[in-house]
């Protein structure tokens, strides 16, 4: 009942409802081939894949294709599940919705980037462009977004066009691993990413190119995975919780602070902030809320399938997506890591 009550304000926003209906329509008629690619893509989140990437970081194309297959369905499921922006924000205000905390986080990010009208900001892994549009409306800066999944880029372009912001918010299909970016040296005032740096197969190479495109004094902000020292790779329970959490949140590489630190050092970017801004360092209440919401959606679709009102694949997609929600809660509660570490670095003058 509480889940339904907290969901209500979301359902009263006609833009969000229209977007959710469009996604539902696309899910209802999702081609069989795309369904298969989605189910097949889950192996990219296995621990073996991570070891493979560590051995050969230049080998990113197959990895990125699988990640794109996963996101091509997940972005639709997230849009019907109130997280169209596809990230769980740090818990900055207790008792408030995920959406509210996203807005708070985006304000903090926009301030820390220190950009304004006439500047250009780059977003890596720009989702459906909703964060980009918000950062643009907060700062007046122009936005360039890269995403490996073409369907999300289309949605981002439509969204910006409908708000007459398409000349200032531009989106491109591009793999963030595909460096150098087609941007001039020093032409970018700020770079940010949310939950996408874990798809970088070679962090140092990427940060070096970020350093190249940033103007002196320009900042890069990350909100992403950071494993904690409490995580013990020799502890089977820790390994189990991480391996179950990875496919749920789409985590490709479980990066530790020392991975970031090394890459920042090698690129010449100077870290100015590194913190876990969630109240008490935990996101658990939001994770539990989203779990309940998606499980409820799964139950409703199962009833719909039984009554022959909905195609069977819809509940199968949700069941696969929802698996392992409890492991994510235990991962966060056990402080093995966080998916909302906030890091800001600067290109020295
Ligand atoms: C956690 S979501 C972040 C969504 C985004 N912040 C938003 O506004 O919705 C990560 C995004 O990174 C994109 N992505 C994943 N791998 C990528 C890659 N190799 N290159 C570019 N984008 C990638 C995904 O398609 C997804 O949109």
Q: What is the pLDDT of residues 272-331, one digit of tens each?
A: 999 999 999 999 999 998 988 888 988 999 999 999 999 999 989 988 888 878 899 999
What the block records as the tokens of 218 is: 């320009």
For 59-71, the DSSP string reads --HHHHHHHHHHH
* Fold of the domain built from segment(s) 2-346: Rossmann fold (3.40.50)
The per-residue pLDDT for 15 is 79
What the block records as the tokens of 252 is: 């490709």
CA-nearest residue, atom 26 of ligand 1: 127
In tens, the pLDDT along 29-47 reads: 999 999 999 999 999 999 8
| Torsional sign, CA 276, 16, 32, 319 | positive
Strands (E) located in 125-240: 142-147, 169-173, 188-194, 214-227
Ligand 1 centroid – CA 107 distance (Å): 20
Atom of ligand 1 nearest to the CA of 123: 6
* Higher pLDDT, residue 55 or 221: 221
Ligand 1 centroid – CA 169 distance (Å): 16
CA-nearest residue, atom 4 of ligand 1: 127
| Torsional sign, CA 90, 94, 97, 99 | negative
Q: What do you get for the CA distance between the two ends of the chain, in Å?
A: 54
Confidence of residue 2 (pLDDT cuts 50, 70, 90): low
What the block records as the tokens of 340 is: 């909302």
Ligand 1 centroid – CA 149 distance (Å): 8
Torsion angle, alpha carbons of 82, 80, 10, 278, to 10: 0
Instruction: Put the strands of the sheet holding 142-147 in their side by side order.
Output: 169-173, 142-147, 120-124, 188-194, 214-227, 337-346, 270-275
Strands (E) located in the chain: 120-124, 142-147, 169-173, 188-194, 214-227, 270-275, 337-346
Q: Where are the domains of the chain?
A: 2-346
In tens, the pLDDT along 56-93 reads: 888 899 999 999 999 999 999 998 877 899 999 999 99
Atom of ligand 1 nearest to the CA of 176: 20
**Is the separation of the CB atoms in 214 and 188 below 8 Å?**
yes
| Mean predicted lDDT score pLDDT of the chain | 93
Rounded distance between C-alpha atoms, residue 320 and residue 35, angstroms: 11
* Higher pLDDT, residue 84 or 206: 206
- Segment 218-225 shows an average pLDDT of 98
Atom of ligand 1 nearest to the CA of 84: 9
Bridge partners of 341, per DSSP, are 224
Rounded distance between C-alpha atoms, residue 332 and residue 195, angstroms: 16
């Amino acid at each position: 009942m509480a889940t339904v009550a907290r969901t209500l304000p979301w359902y009263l926003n006609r833009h969000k409802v229209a977007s959710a209906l469009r996604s539902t329509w696309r899910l209802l008629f999702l081609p069989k081939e795309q369904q298969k690619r989605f189910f097949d893509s889950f192996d990219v989140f296995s621990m073996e894949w991570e070891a493979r990437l560590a051995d050969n970081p230049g080998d990113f194309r197959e990895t990125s294709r699988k990640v794109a297959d996963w996101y091509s369905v997940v972005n639709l499921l997230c849009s019907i599940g109130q997280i169209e922006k596809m990230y769980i924000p740090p818990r900055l205000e207790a008792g408030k919705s995920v959406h509210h905390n996203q807005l708070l986080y985006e304000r903090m990010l926009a301030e820390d980037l220190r950009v304004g009208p006439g500047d250009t900001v780059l977003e890596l892994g720009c989702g459906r462009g909703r964060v980009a549009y918000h950062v643009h409306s907060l700062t007046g800066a122009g936005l360039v977004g890269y995403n490996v999944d073409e369907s999300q880029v289309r949605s981002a372009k439509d969204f910006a066009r409908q708000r007459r912001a398409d000349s200032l918010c531009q989106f491109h299909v591009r793999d963030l691993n595909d460096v150098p970016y087609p941007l001039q040296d020093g032409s970018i005032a700020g770079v940010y990413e949310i939950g996408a740096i874990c798809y970088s197969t070679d962090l140092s190479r990427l940060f070096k190119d970020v350093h190249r495109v940033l103007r002196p004094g320009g900042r890069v902000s990350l909100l992403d995975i950071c494993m904690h020292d409490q995580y013990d790779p020799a502890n089977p329970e820790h390994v189990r919780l991480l391996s179950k959490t990875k496919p749920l949140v789409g985590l490709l590489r479980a990066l530790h602070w020392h991975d970031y630190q090394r890459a920042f050092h090698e690129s010449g970017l100077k870290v100015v902030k590194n913190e876990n801004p969630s109240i008490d360092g935990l996101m658990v209440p939001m994770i539990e809320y989203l779990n309940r919401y998606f499980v409820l959606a799964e139950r409703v679709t199962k009833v719909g399938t039984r009554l022959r009102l909905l195609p069977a694949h819809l509940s199968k997609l949700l069941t696969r997506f929802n698996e392992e929600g409890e492991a994510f809660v235990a991962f966060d509660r056990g402080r093995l890591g966080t998916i909302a570490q906030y890091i800001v670095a600067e290109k020295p003058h």
